[in-house]
Amino acid sequence: MPAYWLKLLVQNAGTTFSAIGPWDTFGAPVTVDVVGESTDFKRPGGGAQAQSVLALVPTTPSSLYGKSMLLTGVEVCYDSSQQGVSLGKVQLYRNVSTNATSVEAQATVALDSSPPDGNQCQMFTGDPQLLPTNGYAAVQLKVDWDAAQADQLLTVGRTTFFLEPSNTPAVAP
């Protein structure tokens, strides 16, 4: 998988950064192809209906280190319009970790248990969470695959994380 593609934009209301891959996958077997600035997830036909979880944990841009920022939302561009493919859930959360192998605290920012299907960019917002010095953003997409369909495909493109300045100090919890 390729390295993260990051783009930092400074706006009046805060900061955004976009990431495209690499995604981790869990659950039903899928093949992963990176096509330009998007990632195709393909599940071969056959077998029972199954679910896969796709997770993106982008690297926070170094220009944000030490700054007090609230993770407020994410915009995910995706195409789930193929028959037999649907999004079952999109969850944006903030993790806190003091080492590379464990998560000490997790807080959900946004959770949509019935996101719209189709070819679109969809915004997910909810309960803003402070990104402490050892915190990071992550988004998971649960994909439902229909066993009756062969060679199902879900494409995920640009994923943009939204941050806003905060007066709360960005210190380790």
- The pLDDT assigned to 132 comes to 80
Q: What is the 3-state secondary structure (H, E, C) of the chain?
A: CCCCCCEEEEECCEEEEEECCCCEEEECCCEEEEECCEEEEEECCCCCCEEEEEEECCCCCHHHCCCCEEEEEEEEEEECCCCCEEEEEEEEEEEECCCCCCCCEEEEEEEECCCCCCEEEEEEEEEEEEECCCEEEEEEEEEEECCCCCCEEEEEEEEEEEEEECCCCCCCC
Answer whether residue 8 shows pLDDT above 50. Answer: no
Domain annotation for the chain: domains and CATH numbers: 7-162 (2.60.120)
- The pLDDT assigned to 131 comes to 85
Work out the pLDDT band at 83, boundaries 50, 70, 90. confident
